[in-house]
Structure 1
Amino acid sequence: MLRRFFAAFLLALTGMSAYAASDCVLDDCSDRQASPQTREYRYNPRRGGAAPAGDFDFYVLALSWSPSFCAGGGAERSRNQCAPGANPGFVVHGLWPQYFQGYPSNCGGNGFLPFSVLNGLNGLYPDQGLARHEWRQHGVCSGKNPAGYFADVRAAREAVTIPPTLRAPGEERSTSPLDVQRAFIEANPRLRPGMMAVTCRRGVLQEARICFSKDLRDFVACPQVARAGCRSQSIDVPAGR
């Protein structure tokens, strides 16, 4: 009983009390059946062992602010992404299977990414090496084959509208994580506070992490992800090269 009360309290604390019946997107609100109030987590990564592929609660789409990556030494690892004049803004970092507490890892499976799938990504990732890494690290935990997983990545990316003020790097400026989050929520009407996080490192914008239902039909509440967002009052947004 105490555990359920505490979980409910945390959910309310993240501002998700507005996650009412009108926000349910699956029949009979079935997307809420795996809520942290009622779910017994099948796997705890801190205990070690292997997680079964396909066993997770929701996805996190991680979108990285490319100028921050390039300014932080990324130019040595991804020359095309960081080439002068390339100037991508938010790029796909990955689509990560998650539990409401923790995440699956060590899922086993075949970590090889066929060239036929890799060559069909058509710029979905800023670098093919990143796509291979993401398949080995996260894709094998999805329970899908490579083609199915990367179709999910593309669907998630296409479901998110990048705010107009963040579509392309302009001059370097300062903002707040809250303002970045507000811009995403304004650009994506079904997105709510508590369904995403803005991350930073040493006062610099790093990523927008947006939570999707397992079937990618809509955004979902993800209290643990939201609480892990940037706590700085002001962050720098680097410009393109």
Structure 2
Amino acid sequence: MALRCSNSLIAALALALPAAANAQAYQCRAPQVARVPAITPDGPRRVLPVTGYTLALSWSPEFCKTRAADPAHAVQCGGANGSFGLVVHGLWPESGASWPQWCEAKTALTPAQVRGSMCLIPSARLVARQWAKHGSCMVRRPSQYLKVIGILRGGLRLPDYDRISREDGLTAGRIRAAFADANPGWREEAIGVKLNERGWLEEIRLCYAKTFHPARCTPSRWGAKDSAPVTIWRGL
């Protein structure tokens, strides 16, 4: 059975996590959203017990490196709506060695909810997909899912990875250490680092227990070894 996250859990999250200023100074102007994009499942429905969560933070300059002129990614990559650093890819429920996905959603996502989330997840299609594939297996309403994402993200301080990218001998371990140093209570064992095949930073994956406390990442979420060389694209 999938976890159904109540408003009381959202309130507990708000009390448990410290408020944090965004260390990356970008200004986001969310565009108007006329309709919620239609999403087609890319796999089977899996209703499984939730044992933990992953908050995936995508490094936007790397994602946008080849997409700046793509209309499908204009909000995130076109520049008119701000310049993004780490953005939320999604919040994913875990279930041991597998994960629940594409659960039945009884409440529809609204255009206003999509727009309200686009400074965290700067793609209307991605907001819709994350709710349909992952959020529907966590909570009953999309507003709850998006609120949990906002609370978790609001409790984090983001290191200045633009500055860190200029360091010599940069490694995945340094990426983890910088995040742990900026966020008391986080240990490096709970911070996954995803690199592409060329060794460029793509994503930081934060591993949570079912209680939303940081937890050791599984091997698949851990990603690159500490010793792995890393290059960070700055969007120049």
What is the TM-score when the length of structure 2 is the normalising length? 0.70
List structure 1 segments (4+ residues) > 4 angstroms apart after TM superposition: 167-174
Q: How many residues align?
A: 191
Query: Deviations 1:131-154 (Å, cap 9, x if unpaired)?
Result: 111111111111331011111111
Instruction: Work out the percentage of aligned pairs sharing the same amino acid.
Output: 29
Gaps in structure 2 of 5+ consecutive residues = 1-15, 17-42
After TM superposition, the structure 1 = structure 2 runs for residues 126-165 of structure 1, keeping only pairs within 5 Å, are 126-163=122-159, 165=160
Gaps in structure 1 of 5+ consecutive residues = 1-24, 26-47
Query: Deviations 1:39-85 (Å, cap 9, x if unpaired)?
Result: xxxxxxxxx964337x3111100000000000144652311211248
Output the amino acid matched with 1:132.
A
- Contact residue 64 and residue 208 of structure 1 kept, 8 A: yes
Q: 1:197 to 1:60 in 2, by over 3 A?
A: same
- Contact residue 107 and residue 142 of structure 2 kept, 8 A: no
CA distance, structure 2, for counterparts of residue 102 and residue 74 of structure 1 = 34
- Contact residue 107 and residue 140 of structure 2 kept, 8 A: no
Larger gyration radius, structure 1 or structure 2:
1
Q: Which residue number in structure 1 is paired with residue 54 of structure 2?
A: 60
Which secondary structure state, in structure 2, belongs to the residue aligned with residue 236 of structure 1? coil
CA distance, structure 2, for counterparts of residue 192 and residue 169 of structure 1 = 19
CA distance, structure 1, for counterparts of residue 104 and residue 163 of structure 2 = 38
Which secondary structure state, in structure 1, belongs to the residue aligned with residue 113 of structure 2? helix
After TM superposition, the structure 1 = structure 2 runs for residues 189-228 of structure 1, keeping only pairs within 5 Å, are 189-202=184-197, 203-216=199-212, 218-227=213-222
CA distance, structure 2, for counterparts of residue 140 and residue 174 of structure 1 = 42
Output the amino acid matched with 2:196.
R
What is the TM-score when the length of structure 1 is the normalising length? 0.69
Query: Deviations 1:14-61 (Å, cap 9, x if unpaired)?
Result: xxxxxxxxxxx9xxxxxxxxxxxxxxxxxxxxxx964337x3111100
Output the amino acid matched with 1:230.
A
- Contact residue 108 and residue 140 of structure 1 kept, 8 A: yes
After TM superposition, the structure 1 = structure 2 runs for residues 1-241 of structure 1, keeping only pairs within 5 Å, are 50-52=45-47, 55-73=49-67, 75-76=69-70, 77-84=72-79, 86-110=82-106, 112-121=108-117, 123-163=119-159, 165-166=160-161, 175-202=170-197, 203-216=199-212, 218-227=213-222, 229-231=223-225, 233-241=228-236
Output the amino acid matched with 1:196.
I
